[in-house]
């Protein structure tokens, strides 16, 4: 069957892939002509990066790429539909280069239009490197070298008519690697943040065993499971279609109906071990409900509604509607209460009541009659919400809503924090909702995070009802509550010497559909043994996991980067929380900060991590500024210190405080990469940094025509080169081979000069 000129939609890729995979004769529909030894075409197309030509700007543009992946057990079939545009007035010849994982085999290659029979050849890594170097030497553009560590598919020449388009379809297969219950898939793409061509990607996973969880450290993904959890459909989000970096996807198979876990490790001799990411998933089945559809683990929900004068009108009406939805969403046997407050505090009942038709009807009537007036008594209201003993065999939850600062009773932020910590002896989860900008954002973040909950902010123009409903829907089906993690030694005894710097230090409750992403550092290469204990589906359970570290690799560069991002977020929050009740005079705060050695230590560590990993925040974004002296350590620390004092410590409410809360929540809970360094500025505008590039496991800062390795900046010798290597020389080839072995070859793909830390020396790579 000839599939030339037949291009189906992404939805039909599965059927097409199935045809190519199951041909009776098992033959490829391609021909080979020793493509690795012939001359390059006028235009070389690398859809993972861009088009290249020896004459300068290519006449061919990659307009979009659609990828369909089918994973059956561990066998993956990847089909790429690549759309090209000839922007010139003459016919152009072109060929395709596609880097692919090791072990890949071509199953199909075709293009539209007339021309020679399409052909493609698969080059192993050694020949691929030689091909890359040969092409790079002619086009004088090192960008291709980013993929030098991969196998390569090289196509035959095909034409694209003047001002015309061309569509290419490539299909390849490869066997995925597995590590215990975890299976990994990777789709090579450039890590350059300059690449903006959208990639529409869908993945279909089919497994004999139920799938516990699907995780991507690189891109935002949407996951839907079917057939009892044995099939999963995965799509990258719309905003993620243009995000750089390879698409990395892992899924865990549910082996025994309990908690499933896997470890992803990155070695680092500088810390005598490395970094790890512990990924844990819940059972694939939906048996968190009983025969009537009610959750097997009941919830006790206390709704706390601000009815102060500033809530009058639409805000209170939306808050009331949200409360009604929560009450209606509870199942019989679950418990609830409604507390409303302004100057004074009132409640539907003295303590939470078990829901039935009668009290639910009475609660609806109670909520509808609420009116707004008076000030805001946050302290006493929280004491009342935390006071009652929880309903037996329930998970106690507080949904606390406010639109203002404490104006009645205890107003001290520190005093409220300390009082809540002392009063919350029943370990209620306090989910906070800040409505508008006139809220104490650091306080709301602290109350939530300190109780295993989350804080949510309702911006002007957003609906309170919608935000509360989103959070509440997530709280269905508690599966593992009050989880605690311990590390065991070879004898099964608890040890504190094997891991350090766990992020987060307090594990969250896991509800239906949740996954746990825990990051930390490990010491030595001895296998790790974890014990996870908690209330699992209403019963005390303990799970043990043993992980070898022999598969630790620098390819897992997202692991230390995610750890560093969470660490930076935690350090910033420490500074932020230290600013509570420090007074209103910024000069006094700044003077106190300069004499606080602990604060200096925090700022120094934030700067060190920001430079090494290229993770910038609103407080350290100046590091990307052209005029900043990267070797001027004292001036960098001073500017970072001033930014953190003036904003993180001194700003407690208003737009700037809420924007910090957004950034803080993202960073401390970050589980996927943020290569463009997106964050919200003081006016709630989303910004990104373009002068910092995260490549492989390194970060580079742009200074003029030079990219400077963050590890060189942090070194004792600074950014002065110890050695210079010229592009295209034998020394350059040797350096490339060394970096390929270390999975760091992407550094050589950057345009301009590159100052790279290699071992304990700085190597400057220059053009011809």
The sign of the torsion formed by the CA atoms of 184, 187, 192, 193 equals negative
Q: Which domains does the chain have, with CATH numbers?
A: 10-252 (2.60.40.1730), 258-282+480-547 (2.60.40), 298-476 (3.40.50.410), 557-684 (no CATH), 691-768 (no CATH)
pLDDT at 113: 64
Long-range contacts: 497-506, Cβ < 8 Å, 24+? 497/523, 498/522, 498/523, 498/524, 498/526, 498/528, 499/276, 499/523, 499/528, 501/563, 501/567, 503/563, 503/566, 503/567, 503/570, 503/668, 504/566, 504/668, 504/669, 506/452
Average pLDDT (644-653) is: 91
H or E element, residue 573 = helix 558-578
pLDDT at 36: 43
H or E element, residue 700 = strand 698-703
584, pLDDT greater than 60: no
β 247-253/515-523 pair status: unpaired
Poorest-pLDDT segment among 4-18, 62-76, 332-346, 537-551: 4-18
Which two tokens mark 294? 């009610």
Spatial CA neighbour of 327 closest among 312, 348, 296, 350 = 348
Angle at 109 between CA 104 and CA 112, to 5 degrees: 155
DSSP string, 339-358: EEESSSEEESSSS-EE--HH
Read off the pLDDT of residues 392-405 as tens digits, 9 standing for 90 and up: 999 999 999 999 99
Spatial CA neighbour of 235 closest among 448, 371, 68 = 68
Average pLDDT (183-205) is: 94
pLDDT at 585: 56
Read off the pLDDT of residues 55-99 as tens digits, 9 standing for 90 and up: 777 889 999 999 999 999 999 999 999 999 999 999 998 889 999
pLDDT at 741: 93
Can you state the percent helix, strand and coil of the chain, rounding each to 5?
30, 35, 40
Name the 3-class secondary structure at 589: helix
> How high is the mean pLDDT of the chain?
90
Average pLDDT (446-470) is: 96
Contact in structure between 132 and 148 (CB atoms under 8 Å): yes
Read off the pLDDT of residues 309-322 as tens digits, 9 standing for 90 and up: 999 999 999 999 99
Average pLDDT (594-602) is: 79
Q: Which residue has the tokens 């969880």?
A: 213
Q: Higher model confidence: residue 659 or residue 240?
A: 659
18, pLDDT greater than 70: no
Q: Which residue has the tokens 């991969």?
A: 150
Which two tokens mark 730? 């034998």
Q: How far apart are the first and last CA of the chain?
A: 50
pTM, two decimals, is: 0.92
Residue 15 confidence class, pLDDT cut points 50, 70, 90: very low
pLDDT at 594: 60
Residue 35 confidence class, pLDDT cut points 50, 70, 90: very low
pLDDT at 405: 95
HSE of 428, CA atoms in CB hemisphere, 13 A: 29
What are the distances in angstroms from CA 635 to CA 587, 639, 650, 689? 19, 6, 21, 21
The sign of the torsion formed by the CA atoms of 710, 713, 715, 718 equals positive
pLDDT at 14: 35
Contact in structure between 566 and 503 (CB atoms under 8 Å): yes
Residue 1 confidence class, pLDDT cut points 50, 70, 90: very low
Spatial CA neighbour of 676 closest among 274, 265, 220 = 220
Q: What are phi and psi of 88, to 5 degrees?
A: -100, 170
Query: Rounded to whole angstroms, how far apart are CA atoms 647 and 633?
Result: 21
Contact in structure between 692 and 730 (CB atoms under 8 Å): no
Spatial CA neighbour of 214 closest among 184, 180, 173 = 184
The sign of the torsion formed by the CA atoms of 346, 349, 352, 357 equals negative
Query: Rounded to whole angstroms, how far apart are CA atoms 524 and 87?
Result: 56
Angle at 484 between CA 486 and CA 427, to 5 degrees: 150
583, pLDDT greater than 60: no
| Residues making up the chain, counted from first to last | 768
Query: Rounded to whole angstroms, how far apart are CA atoms 10 and 8?
Result: 7
Q: Higher model confidence: residue 767 or residue 301?
A: 301
345, pLDDT greater than 80: yes
Angle at 366 between CA 364 and CA 369, to 5 degrees: 110
DSSP string, 44-72: EEETTTEEE-TTSS-SEEEEEEEEEEEEE
Query: Rounded to whole angstroms, how far apart are CA atoms 169 and 8?
Result: 10
HSE of 506, CA atoms in CB hemisphere, 13 A: 13
pLDDT at 32: 37
Query: Rounded to whole angstroms, how far apart are CA atoms 280 and 123?
Result: 37
Residue 704 carries which DSSP code? T
pLDDT at 295: 80
Residue 287 confidence class, pLDDT cut points 50, 70, 90: low
What are the distances in angstroms from CA 395 to CA 63, 147, 659? 51, 50, 31
The sign of the torsion formed by the CA atoms of 368, 374, 380, 382 equals positive
Q: What are phi and psi of 413, to 5 degrees?
A: -65, -45
Read off the pLDDT of residues 677-729 as tens digits, 9 standing for 90 and up: 999 999 999 999 999 999 999 999 999 999 999 999 999 999 999 999 999 89
CB count, 10 Å around CB of 174? Answer: 19
Residue 17 confidence class, pLDDT cut points 50, 70, 90: very low
pLDDT at 767: 85
CB-based contacts of 11: which residues, under 8 Å, 6+ apart? Answer: none
Average pLDDT (436-447) is: 97
Residue 250 confidence class, pLDDT cut points 50, 70, 90: very high
25, pLDDT greater than 50: no
Read off the pLDDT of residues 512-534 as tens digits, 9 standing for 90 and up: 889 999 999 999 999 999 999 99
pLDDT at 516: 97
The 3-state secondary structure of 492-555 reads CCECCCCEEEEECCCCCCEECCCEEEEEEEEECCCCEEEEEEEEECCEEEEEEEEECCCCCCCC
492, pLDDT greater than 80: yes
Query: Rounded to whole angstroms, how far apart are CA atoms 536 and 495?
Result: 24
Residue 158 confidence class, pLDDT cut points 50, 70, 90: confident
Q: Which residue has the tokens 């300190």?
A: 450
């Amino acid at each position: 069957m000839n599939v030339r000129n037949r291009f189906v939609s992404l939805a039909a890729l599965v059927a097409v892939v199935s045809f190519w995979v199951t041909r009776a004769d098992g033959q490829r529909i391609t021909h080979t002509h020793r493509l690795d030894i012939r001359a390059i075409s006028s235009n070389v197309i690398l859809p993972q990066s861009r088009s290249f030509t020896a004459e300068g700007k290519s006449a061919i543009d990659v307009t979009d790429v659609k990828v369909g992946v089918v994973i059956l057990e561990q066998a993956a079939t990847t089909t790429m539909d690549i759309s090209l545009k000839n922007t010139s007035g003459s016919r152009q010849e072109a060929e395709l280069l596609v880097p692919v994982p090791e072990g890949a085999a071509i199953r199909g290659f075709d293009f539209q239009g007339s021309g020679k029979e399409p052909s493609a050849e698969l080059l192993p890594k050694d020949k691929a490197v030689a091909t890359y170097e040969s092409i790079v030497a002619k086009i004088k553009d090192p960008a291709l070298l980013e993929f030098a560590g991969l196998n390569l598919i090289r196509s035959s020449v095909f034409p694209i008519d003047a001002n015309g388009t061309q569509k290419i379809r490539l299909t390849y297969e490869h066997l995925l690697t597995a590590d215990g219950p975890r299976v990994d898939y990777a789709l090579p793409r450039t890590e350059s943040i300059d690449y903006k061509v959208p990639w529409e990607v869908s993945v279909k996973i089919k497994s004999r065993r139920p799938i516990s969880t699907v995780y991507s450290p690189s891109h935002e993904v949407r996951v839907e499971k079917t057939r009892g959890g044995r099939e999963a459909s995965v799509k990258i989000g719309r905003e993620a279609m243009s995000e750089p970096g390879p698409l990395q996807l892992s899924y865990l198979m549910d082996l025994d109906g309990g908690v499933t876990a896997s470890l992803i490790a990155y070695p680092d001799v500088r810390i005598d071990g490395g970094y790890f990411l512990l990924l844990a998933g819940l059972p694939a089945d939906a048996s968190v409900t009983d025969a009537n559809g009610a959750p097997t683990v009941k919830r006790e929900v206390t709704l706390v509604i601000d009815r102060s004068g500033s809530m009058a009108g639409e805000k209170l009406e939306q808050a009331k509607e949200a409360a009604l939805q929560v009450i209606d969403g509870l199942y019989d046997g679950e418990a609830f209460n409604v507390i409303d407050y302004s100057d004074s505090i009132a409640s539907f009942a003295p303590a939470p009541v078990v829901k039935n038709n009668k009290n639910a009807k009475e609660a609806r009537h109670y909520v509808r009659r609420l009116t707004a007036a008076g000030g805001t008594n946050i302290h006493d209201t929280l004491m009342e919400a935390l006071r009652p003993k929880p309903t037996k065999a329930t998970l106690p939850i507080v949904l606390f809503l406010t639109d203002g600062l404490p104006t009645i009773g205890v107003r001290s932020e520190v005093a409220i924090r300390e009082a809540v910590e002392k009063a919350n002896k029943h370990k209620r989860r306090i989910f906070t909702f800040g409505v508008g900008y006139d809220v104490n954002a650091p306080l709301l973040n602290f109350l939530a995070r300190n109780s295993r909950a989350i804080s949510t902010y309702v911006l002007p123009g957003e609906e309170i009802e919608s935000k509360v409903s989103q959070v509440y829907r997530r709280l269905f089906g508690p599966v593992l509550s009050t989880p605690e993690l311990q590390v065991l030694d070879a004898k099964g005894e608890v040890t504190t010497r094997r891991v350090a710097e766990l992020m987060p230090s307090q594990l969250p409750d896991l509800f239906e559909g949740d996954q746990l992403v825990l990051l930390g550092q490990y010491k030595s290469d001895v296998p790790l043994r974890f014990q996870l204990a908690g209330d699992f589906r209403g019963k005390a359970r303990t799970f043990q996991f043993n992980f070898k570290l022999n598969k630790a690799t620098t390819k897992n560069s997202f692991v230390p980067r995610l750890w560093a991002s969470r660490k930076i977020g935690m350090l910033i929050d420490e500074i932020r929380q230290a600013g509570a009740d420090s007074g209103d005079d910024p000069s006094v705060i700044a003077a106190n900060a300069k004499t606080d050695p602990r604060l200096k230590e925090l700022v120094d560590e934030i700067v060190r991590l920001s430079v090494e990993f290229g993770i910038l925040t609103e407080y350290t974004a100046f590091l990307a500024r052209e005029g900043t002296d990267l070797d001027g350590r004292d001036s960098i620390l001073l500017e970072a210190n001033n930014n953190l004092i003036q904003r993180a410590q001194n700003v407690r409410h208003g737009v700037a405080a809420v924007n910090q809360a957004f950034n803080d929540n993202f960073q401390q809970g970050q589980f996927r990469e943020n290569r463009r360094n997106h964050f919200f500025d003081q006016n709630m505008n989303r910004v990104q940094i373009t002068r910092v590039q995260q490549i492989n496991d390194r970060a580079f800062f742009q200074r003029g025509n030079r990219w400077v390795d963050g590890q060189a900046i942090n070194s004792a010798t600074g950014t002065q080169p110890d050695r210079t290597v010229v592009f295209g020389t034998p020394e350059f080839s040797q350096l490339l081979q060394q970096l390929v072995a270390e999975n760091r070859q992407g550094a050589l793909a950057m345009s301009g000069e590159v100052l790279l830390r290699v071992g304990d020396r700085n190597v400057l790579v220059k053009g011809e």
